[in-house]
Amino acid sequence: MLQIPLAFKGPAKQIESLFPEAMVFAAIKLLLSENMVHWQHNKVLETINAVIEDQGKLHKLSLNWPIDPELSIGTCHCDEDKPCVHLCALVIASKAKLDQLPPFTQQLQANRNIQQTLGVWLNQQSHDPYPNMARHRLLYFLDTDEHEKQFSISLHKAYLSKDGRYATKSKLDSSLLQQKPIPKFVSLTDKIILNRLQNSFIIKQHSFTLLKKRDNQLLKNIVQTGRCFWKNCY
């Protein structure tokens, strides 16, 4: 993405004065196809040489640089009337390589300020998948069995207060996705988690025993919701 305006040495409208607009567009198409090779600039002789491929044919080009409007622009070994589209492409490419001016210090500083401001703004953003009026949330309570060898996860409906506190309202089960319509407090991430629970546990239930190998990714997804609590919400 272009962030700093490009500037080139004069004279103003140099390319427009040498070539018609249609030819300039055709020349740009050639350049975008990367058909120009062996571009060489001889500072001592003030010449530019290149080879360009067009419709399967190679054309040798030669150009005086800087361009003298009183003299011929250059030479091309094609059969088109001169100045041709190949010379136009060479002029555009050469101007881009040789006549581009470095940006001003103020432009560079302004660009850095924009990037810094954008970075700060992005870091301050957070995604809330819930509608403005939806205050209920699906919570996941993590627990272990009496021997602390297996984890279990249970589903609960809770109310989120404006100060960010949860209050548990009721228990939920894996049939939540079968409700029509699906409650608004069920986010896309919740749907993925519930689908995985349904695939692993056919029977409708409120609490699920997790296996280390099988449910490792599932547990990670649950924790990443930010709504997973140890035994109870607080």
pLDDT at 4: 52
Widest CA span in the chain: 96
* Residue-wise pLDDT tens digits, 169-180: 899 888 888 888
3-class DSSP assignment, residue 207: strand
Nearest to 9 by CA among 85, 76, 102, 87: 102
Query: Which of 3-17, 48-62, 72-86, 94-108 is predicted least confidently?
Result: 3-17
Query: Look-up: residue for tokens 């919400």?
Result: 233
Nearest to 80 by CA among 27, 36, 34: 27
**Both structure tokens of 50:** 């290149």
pLDDT at 25: 92
Query: Is residue 227 scored above 80 in pLDDT?
Result: yes
Residue % of the chain over a pLDDT of 70: 86
Query: Is residue 40 scored above 60 in pLDDT?
Result: yes
pLDDT at 148: 66
Query: Which of 85-89, 104-108, 123-127, 217-221 is predicted least confidently?
Result: 104-108
Nearest to 83 by CA among 20, 36, 149: 20
Average pLDDT over residues 97-120: 72
Task: Count CB neighbours of 182 within 10 A.
Answer: 13
Domain edges within the chain:
14-98, 136-230
> CA-to-CA distance for 221 and 223, rounded, in angstroms?
6
pLDDT at 119: 79
pLDDT at 1: 45
Average pLDDT over residues 75-100: 86
Res. 104 pLDDT band, cuts 50 70 90 = low
Query: Look-up: residue for tokens 């409120």?
Result: 206
> CA-to-CA distance for 3 and 126, rounded, in angstroms?
26
* Residue-wise pLDDT tens digits, 117-161: 777 777 777 666 776 677 888 899 988 876 667 888 899 999 888
Identify the H or E element spanning 29: helix 21-32
Average pLDDT over residues 107-114: 69
Query: Look-up: residue for tokens 């419709």?
Result: 55
**Both structure tokens of 15:** 């390319």
pLDDT at 49: 92
Between residues 71 and 86, the one the model is more confident about: 86
Task: Check if the beta carbon of residue 210 is closer than 8 Å to that of residue 151.
Answer: yes
The reported pTM is: 0.46
Query: Is residue 112 scored above 80 in pLDDT?
Result: no
Identify the H or E element spanning 166: strand 166-172
Mean pLDDT, the chain, integer: 82
CA dihedral 212, 215, 219, 222 (to 10 degrees): -160
Query: Is residue 213 scored above 50 in pLDDT?
Result: yes
Task: Check if the beta carbon of residue 183 is closer than 8 Å to that of residue 219.
Answer: no
